[in-house]
Amino acid sequence: MKTEIAVVTGGIKGAGRAIVEAFLARGAHVVTNFRKDQETAEAFQNELKGKKDRLHVLQADFGEPEQVNKVFDLVQEKYGHLNYFVANAAATAFKPLLDVKPHHIEKTFAITVTGFVLGCQRSAALMKGLKGKIVAISGYDTHTFLPRHGVLGAAKSALETLIKYFAVELAPMGINVNAVNPGFLATTSTKIYMGDLYDKVKKLNEEITPRSRVTAGKEIADIVMFLCSDEADWICGQTIRADGGLSHIQPMALPEK
């Protein structure tokens, strides 16, 4: 039996890190990338040094086509096949839409949309005959207003549409394509985005979420692991909301004034 190989983009922190750790726990070899946070990447590798033979961490910007290829070229050269592709990486400038510049839009869509399309194209070739799984991580901002999330929400919405199209096109090849849409994620990125308001907003989301807590990275990783299992073969082109019921509650976010 071939070694299982997973590509997880943006896997050195937050939900991405939890997904990487879940794949490693089940014995897979993992290739992940980071864009510019070298310090966090090195700390991540040091913490997982006991699994260094199964973990490859590359500096690669998924908004740049040649760097997308850099990740998949490593998989091609070292392993020659791929079982799982998890598109988790995202980046944007958190600004009101009236303040957004063209390069902010281009960069956001380059990573979330273009990078995903190129990643799926490379994955499909490497997954041939292997019943591969592709999973994208979407966002709460696709269906609920979040301040300064307009461009990212639009990009993630496009991502969810691509999930449906890739699911249908790749199904004859035996490849499953689905997505996970988290609720409020208690991650480092969320803390940076929220700044001084993080604790207040986190507490509010805990109070209004029916399960009385916010989403943790491991909870998203658990859903990803299920979608990457044989038991999920009949799930095709779906975006699963894993938010503890938050999406059923009247949104509390209001436009900034």
In this structure, the strands spanning 84-87 and 133-137 are: parallel
Q: How many helices (H) and strands (E) does the chain have?
A: 9, 7
- Tell whether the model's pLDDT for residue 103 goes beyond 90: yes
pTM for this entry:
0.93
Q: How far apart are CA 215 and CA 182, in angstroms?
A: 7
- Tell whether the model's pLDDT for residue 73 goes beyond 90: yes
Confidence of residue 51 (pLDDT cuts 50, 70, 90): confident
The reported pLDDT for the residue numbered 195 is 74
- Topology (CATH) of 5-184+217-247: Rossmann fold (3.40.50)
- Tell whether the model's pLDDT for residue 181 goes beyond 90: yes
Q: Note the Cα 66 to chain centre separation in Å.
A: 20
Q: What are the pLDDT digits (tens) for 148-164?
A: 889 999 999 999 999 99
Name the residue ranges covered by the structural domains of the chain: 5-184+217-247
Q: What's phi and psi for 73, nearest 5 deg?
A: -65, -40
Higher pLDDT, 9 or 40: 9
Tokens 């994620």, residue? 185
Do the beta carbons of residue 247 and residue 144 sit within 8 Å?
Answer: yes
Determine the average pLDDT of the residues in 192-212: 79
Do the beta carbons of residue 227 and residue 176 sit within 8 Å?
Answer: yes
Q: How far apart are CA 37 and CA 60, in angstroms?
A: 11
How much of the chain exceeds pLDDT 90, in percent? 69
- Tell whether the model's pLDDT for residue 1 goes beyond 70: no
- Tell whether the model's pLDDT for residue 67 goes beyond 90: yes
Helix or strand (DSSP H, E) at 178 = strand 176-182
